[in-house]
Amino acid sequence: MYKKFIRPILFLINPEKTHDIIFFFIKIFFKIPLVKFFVYKIYSNEDERLNIELFDLKFKNRIGLAAGFDKNAKLLNELECFGFSHIEVGTITPKAQSGNPKPRLFRLSSENALINRMGFNNDGVETILKRIKRYKGKLIIGANIGKNKSTPIDNSAYDYLYCFKKLRNFVNYFVINISSPNTPGLRKLQSKNYLNKLIETIQKENCSKKTIVPVLIKIAPDLSFKEIDDIIEICLKHNIDGIIATNTTLSRKNITSNYLAEEGGLSGNPLKERSNEIIRYIKKKSNKKIKIIGVGGIFNSKDVKEKIKLGADLIQVYTGWVYEGPSMVKKINSSLLKMKKEN
């Protein structure tokens, strides 16, 4: 129903406007009595055999919603009903910022892809924290944190540390986003010297308290293997819990869409091959010591199983969910459950 009737209508509208419209209607729709109950029943798959423990956290299944969809933690209660085990909020910066000029989100329907150059548009850590505090559900909540555009690259660590301190008692894990292509200079933080200083700062604060919060790093798919080696080395040195592989790509390899020339990060099906390649590499190079959340080009259970086979411990979706619709997560989990039964 979604792909035949709803998606064609939604895809007639500007992608960012569509996103806002969906948020508005979900919020209104879920105010109707019993709607939340029935949506949960239709789209969730509760089975203990899907459970997985990672970072000392119990995930009800492997599938989460990647950062960027609910940047500002506005729909945590509602999105929980669609079967996700975890949702990553953000990217969150210390101060609110409007992001890059519009239009900044583009659909490449023929490629099953999106291009975005949002630029860390978000309501700021103080406002987002208030919403996270109000959430009382069972989702694992991750905070994807970054720096404000106006913060000089040499002072980036202070922005990340500020968000970390504000949020640490209210989220289950953190993701250090150093890989968005849409904030000038941000990807420099993936280089050895910058990253070592940043992670050292975060982990020093993390280990100063009784409860240590899991910390992951989100990396770009455009890195060389030598650069990935440096990141793995730093992760092992500072006891980083995991790597999210990967963020969006600047590559336009094999893309034929009219939006080919648009700047920004490409996500969706064209990212799948490179994401898989990096997952495989990290798992082998780290000797399975680093946990991996696989992101990029996930549309069905086959894509999920492939990433798990290559080394991903958890999976996150975004573009695939936009294209496949609300039943996607349940379909994937049902397939994973069937595979478990057969084994």
Q: Which residues are catalytic?
A: 180
User: By three-state DSSP, how is residue 12 classified?
Assistant: coil
User: First-to-last CA distance in the chain?
Assistant: 32
Residue-wise DSSP of 295-324:
ESS--SHHHHHHHHHHT-SEEEESHHHHHH
Helical H segments across 60-217, by residue range: 76-79, 125-134, 156-167, 192-206
Q: Report which DSSP code applies to 190.
A: G
Residue 88 and residue 118 in contact, taking contact as beta carbons nearer than 8 Å: no
Burial class, 136, CB count within 10 angstroms (exposed 0-12 / middle 13-18 / buried 19+)? exposed
CB atoms within 10 A of CB 274: 20
Specify the length of the chain in residues.
Answer: 343
Long-range contacts of 10-18 (CB under 8 A, 24+ apart): 11/107, 11/109, 14/103, 14/105, 15/105, 15/106, 15/107, 15/114, 16/102, 16/103, 16/104, 16/105
Who contacts 214 (Cβ-Cβ below 8 Å, separation ≥6)? Answer: 55, 56, 57, 172, 173, 174, 241, 242
